[in-house]
Structure 1
């Protein structure tokens, strides 16, 4: 007798986490993304965390949802709308009202904008607002190709008072900063009622221990906890922490000073001795050797301090120091108490002067606020910027990007 198809629990889970458009931006974990929802401010703000990365260098990517005072929800920087993610959003919709506004606050990477169109399809009455001067790398795709609904998508106006959510939000636009073949821009949103600042990439803070979303699948943490290819790494919290801290250095510096890239003449013989030689383990290839990496991590961590990612410091924001400082001054004029970035830790307890201090690397004579930073913790160690400086020099040499401008 015919009946309903039998679907086991593993199949149900796989379907719940499915993200079928992953080939557009082929980042780990590809077509299977977990989501964690966290209430940040009771009945007001929620974070939705997923992960993404390359070569197991995985970091959180975050969507923030804010309840509007008149009812309904505003979504800042959507993540992959998997069945699990949408179910978690619709639970909020059932209690607090429909998604009214969806915000794309950046113009550059596809890793943010690729989710906006598919996410918007689940909420057909929501208005979509995007940062002006859109740009994608490595392919500059039209927004319509990414599925953004043309009849309800509009640019964020320069004047934030011209939006339908102006009573509750102010915002400030950074950029666009000309990068030769592309542009960088970001829109910081300030939720007045909760005194919360929402940013994309401009500032961040890293936790000492791996975030909950990264720990759902510890394999990337344990992979980077290895000291050599032949290591068998036990799944204990100390090794998860070790792997996470190295991942942070990878993600923010590419190649910090404690990291030695081994020659292939050594890597291939080592791979033959590897404890695991599966495809998942890159066939035993592990071309890394770490030396005194803890020093670099803890200089970066700085007791949870707020800072600008070294990549942005070296390759992007130094192309427009005055514009960036002016933007940081405007943002610091708001009376926020919390900051929620799209990556790494959140929420961050921080005051406006701490946000402004994070951009002091763009100033010739930065004023260091008493009790916040000292010369021993800020700026970041110059030796860890070596590879980024070399990349910057190469980009300038071949005129791929405009040269950096003088500090202000």
Structure 2
């Protein structure tokens, strides 16, 4: 099915079907209206369901993966918002392949994943929910039932996959909880052996050179970031969509890459007065960004030919707090036989081998030269400040 055909299918759905009523639990774009795009990845076996998430139009895909079980029924990895449209697309698979049997929460720290599990499980009352060990909540650590997970059918993933009802088809490896001080980080990588497909949450990504279909359904975010100044009138062209997407990726990965300067708010406000669009949807004409000509090279370095990448924030603030444990987890995953990876964000599926997966974490073994040091400066400054304030623990070296 082409993108145009998918758009026609989605536009036939009403706004009420795209409504996410509980958007205030995580009040980020696109707020209460969430479109869903379903894509078949492995014929008659694996499907992805994509929605959007972001702040200040820095929007990226968030992805749920659904796998058909050999004995009938479906396994859901990392649910997205169960809007009417999303549930309709899932139920089309249920009608053919059987009920949703298992729902997997594969992370302990990603609120954008955790917040949807309870509502999704309530839509499929016959399902079992399996969650990563060491779940926690902030500012108070609450019981799982208080977080909306169903009582009586929520289970903790054991260390051994053979002790689960889906262990005959799946292997999984739990990255041990990394203590960050105010919170923890962990995720579970799942291997679907029959299709040789690896499912991961946040640990690995690949940056697509062009905006994904789910982002192109509504190009407003792309065109917003394609501008060079508030007064620009940006036409909706493939080139402008491409420029907006590549700048969004730099924002999302580095927060403030070296090619981006933030204008003073006084000048930003004055420039907003001359903006051609001062609507609420366009942030009242406010555009505090000034891109240098080097941004295109910055994206080229980030894209790196589509290679597997560990996101900069994980490199500088999280995984380097437990390098030995992370590499042990990576080595275990790299022993599996897989040919594709489906992460929860950015590109998917990624055709990749275990060696490719292992190579992405080489920065934990040796000084990292894969990304420009200048683009990592802000994250490194944040790291040093958080350590200085004793909010997070210092980075460690491999033992």
Bucket of the pairwise TM-score, normalised by the shorter protein: over 0.9
Structure 2 distance, partners of 1:388, 1:232, is 32
2:19 is equivalent to residue 18 of structure 1? yes
Aligned length, in residue pairs: 389
**What does residue 64 of structure 1 align with?**
65
1:220-369 pair list within 5 angstroms: 220-291=221-292, 292-364=294-366
Shift of 1:311: 0.6
Q: What's the CA shift string for 1:289-327, capped at 9, x where partnerless?
A: 011101111101011110100010001000000100110
TM-score by length of 1: 0.93
**What does residue 369 of structure 1 align with?**
none
In structure 2, the CA distance between the partners of 1:10 and 1:406, relative to structure 1 (3 Å rule), is: closer
Q: What's the CA shift string for 1:76-109, capped at 9, x where partnerless?
A: 0000000000000000001011111000000002
Structure 2 distance, partners of 1:340, 1:138, is 31
Q: What's the CA shift string for 1:98-139, capped at 9, x where partnerless?
A: 111000000002110110111011111111000011123566
**What does residue 4 of structure 2 align with?**
none
Structure 2 distance, partners of 1:137, 1:242, is 37
Q: Which moved more, 1:52-61 or 1:275-284?
A: 275-284
Structure 1 distance, partners of 2:367, 2:226, is 39
**What does residue 211 of structure 1 align with?**
212
**What does residue 159 of structure 1 align with?**
160
Partner SS, residue 62 of structure 1: strand
1:166-205 pair list within 5 angstroms: 166-205=167-206
| Unaligned stretches of 5+ residues in structure 2 | 1-9
**What does residue 77 of structure 2 align with?**
76
In structure 2, the CA distance between the partners of 1:184 and 1:219, relative to structure 1 (3 Å rule), is: same
Partner SS, residue 318 of structure 1: helix
In structure 2, the CA distance between the partners of 1:39 and 1:185, relative to structure 1 (3 Å rule), is: same
Shift of 1:146: 3.1
Query: Does the 8 A contact of 2:189 with 2:198 survive in 1?
Result: yes
**What does residue 109 of structure 2 align with?**
108
2:373 is equivalent to residue 382 of structure 1? yes
Structure 1 distance, partners of 2:373, 2:253, is 14
CA RMSD of aligned residues (A): 1.5
Query: Does the 8 A contact of 1:109 with 1:135 survive in 2?
Result: no
TM-score by length of 2: 0.95
Structure 1 distance, partners of 2:228, 2:240, is 11
**What does residue 43 of structure 1 align with?**
44
Structure 2 distance, partners of 1:231, 1:26, is 29
Which aligned segments of 4 or more residues in structure 1 are displaced greater than 3 angstroms?
9-12, 136-142
